[in-house]
A and B are shown apart, each in its own frame.
Chain A
């Protein structure tokens, strides 16, 4: 029996999970998007308990409510109860039960099938890896860092500046790194969050086998999701290695650099990715990479940052899309309201979600979404 089954009734449905620390806005992305109590964490836990008890049957709608959670952990941060740290694990366990029973919504099914068939959720073959990836150095024994690109940086053109700027910074700093190329598999973070544990184990196993074969001792990930799963799950799977998020590498480089000056009075605001911030408490490190620039914080920052809506596979399944209150649109409006001209991010998922939202909100002229490596490399 999974732990959540004996614990999930403990949610009182108080609703603290809906807010940031200062109650200034709604900070649960799915609750803010849909506004029915069902889409809050409390709602999800109560519905899941009802499903477990047989009070309500499984339905596509129930599953969508569960999968609309981006696993951003705002609820974990705000819940006043002692079980707070476990909430997202409970949601993942409930999803896992749905997966085991073959009861998952269509978009999640397609996501998982794509990872199963293609090794990534984007339905891309190895041949379709972005052209600039092929020019990167391959990891060989003795290379200090394996640069783990992840699915979005490998296949989505929107991440070009992010990847090319990062490798330039690494080259400039004389850091020894290499990539896995066609041997790289999806890290499995989203697959894990979606509750497909068998597929996750397969993906992680393949990656770990490759790391072992190559003698990898240290990994730099581009994506916070990859960083999270390698740091918190891979380590218990029989092969120990150091994991850095690229912002940590950049922070080290920034320490040795002269502080930059803000060009043309452009202010920068920084969006904390959930899997870097609330999941792994890396709040100041990415900001170090922006040292010397005029940083203006959004009202919701660090542990109170508002999720872009892309977590837990939602950058593909997109259950929170549509409408004025989709999280990415809310977030870019908040960024623009600071007066910043640049919205800096440290996650390819956030980068793509927020870039799209800037277009939808018609903020192209005012706000540019850039990752921190591109900002540093300007």
Chain B
């Protein structure tokens, strides 16, 4: 009988290989609502060679491999559906290079957003990356793999759009460079002018390989940064407000919040956007442009600016925002999950109505943050509901509400972001059949033994 554990400890320091019940329990679930399923081994590699050796072993033995970053998708994307080897990437955490002039950083596959933020702030305070509002243990790679969004998404698109190169261990164990780094020592582009192969790895949830290095673009970190809050009680106005602000090209991030507490939030839509600049004059100019864009609403008494005292601004300026995480415990239950369709911003009013209807139907506490993407070409709208981890009934109600939200979102033109297994099935059922066929052929071609994060993007037989 093959002793996989011994083989793994021959590859990786035994301190970082476990088949103990405790580690298997922990790595078999995430903070969301998808059912648990445990791996058989948890390993933490530190080198690309170790990753290769594990992939070779997995191919030989036909066992599953699930690469994991922070494990914070909430939609169960790294729950090992078919057991096997859970690859916790967080020991591969080096920031290999910051190319200041080229404006990119190269990080290892388990480098966290928190570490990159801190490194830039200390050593390159004039540069920043698009940090998401997930907790700082979220890894740069995993966030790109799920097409995460961050504080620069309004200006620059999805965080995966800001990738500037990859090193990948393919499911057949070869190391492959993707982008300019395939032919040059510089990591300035993930694709152009070459065929853009990076899309073989984003949105695939680890089913097409293990990203061991990633180049991420860096952008100017402006001297001043100021949050502005605009309020309206008319959901139907929100898309136009978003669009008008986006078209000024004066704002950094834009998020629309809807939630019932504090009470002042109920039945109101809080449009939070940020103005950044290097001089007071630049800030003033941008402020005026934004005010001007929204002036009509103000005059018609359809909306207004909220005066922000420094205490209110502080959490808005913190990156990542701890308030996002705090939502999990507003009803003292320790859990929340959201369905997050990417959709046209014109869908905001119908989505937000559905959000509230579902909360009432299922007796749940709700919240939504809608982040504008790429100047208004789309938004991520979160249907967020809390649940009590100690109460299976609220967990079921939250899951039912999220399932219904996902179906509604898809029927109304949205495409699910980081879809759980159920949402993947709905998505594939609705997908153009030739597109789906192409996806399956690509997956089969790259991973002939089906070892990589199996269960995800799989058509039911």
Contacts and interface: CB of A to CB of B under 8 A. Distances in A.
B137 A61 contact: no
Contacts of A12: 31, 325, 328-329, 334-336
Given A16-B322, A82-B329, A323-B15, A61 B118 contact: no
Interface stretch (A35-43, A216-224, A334-342): A35-43
Contact of A34 (B15, B70, B117, B334): B15
Contacts, number: 107
A83 B322 CA distance: 14
A35 B16 CA distance: 8
Interface of A: 6, 9-16, 18-19, 22-25, 34-38, 43, 46-47, 49-50, 55-57, 59, 61-62, 65, 80-83, 323
Nearest to B136: A23
B112 interface: yes
B79 interface: no
B329 A59 contact: no
Contacts of B380: none
A50 B21 CA distance: 11
The 6 closest A-B pairs by CB, nearest first: A23-B114, A15-B137, A10-B334, A80-B322, A12-B328, A9-B389
Contacts of A6: 390
B332 A10 contact: yes
23 contacts: A10-B333, A12-B329, A14-B328, A15-B70, A16-B322, A18-B137, A19-B114, A22-B121, A23-B118, A23-B136, A35-B91, A36-B44, A37-B27, A50-B25, A57-B21, A59-B22, A61-B21, A61-B22, A62-B21, A65-B22, A80-B326, A82-B326, A323-B15
B199 to A, nearest CB: 29
A16 B26 contact: no
Interface string B119-137: 1011000000000000111
B23 interface: yes
A10 B26 contact: no
Contacts of B389: 9-10, 49
Given A12-B334, A36-B88, A47-B26, A23 B115 contact: yes
A9 B388 CA distance: 8
B110 to A, nearest CB: 10
Contacts of B335: 12
A14 B71 CA distance: 9
B18 interface: yes
Contacts of A55: 25
Q: Which of B21, B22, B88, B329 has the most CB of A within 10 A?
A: B22
A22 B114 CA distance: 8
Nearest to B91: A35
B26 A43 contact: yes
B42 interface: yes
B135 A14 contact: yes
Nearest to A82: B329
Contacts of B18: 36
Given A22-B118, A24-B115, 12 more contacts: A10-B329, A12-B335, A12-B336, A16-B137, A18-B137, A23-B117, A23-B118, A23-B136, A25-B115, A59-B21, A80-B325, A81-B326
Interface of B: 15-16, 18, 20-23, 25-27, 31, 42, 44, 70-72, 88, 90-91, 112, 114-115, 117-119, 121-122, 135-137, 322-323, 325-326, 328-329, 332-336, 388-390
A216 B263 CA distance: 54
Given A14-B135, A34-B15, A35-B90, A62 B333 contact: no
Nearest to B323: A80
Given A24-B122, A35-B16, A61-B20, A47 B136 contact: no
Given A35-B44, A36-B44, A55-B25, A19 B137 contact: yes
Contacts of A37: 23, 26-27, 71, 88
Given A16-B322, A22-B121, A43-B26, A36 B42 contact: yes
A16 B325 contact: yes
A15 B21 contact: no
A38 B115 CA distance: 21
B189 to A, nearest CB: 28
Nearest to A22: B118
A9 B334 contact: yes
Given A23-B118, A37-B27, A37-B88, A62 B22 contact: yes
Contacts of B114: 19, 23
Contacts of B44: 35-36
B391 to A, nearest CB: 9
A47 B25 contact: yes
A24 B31 CA distance: 24
Nearest to B68: A37
A8 to B, nearest CB: 9
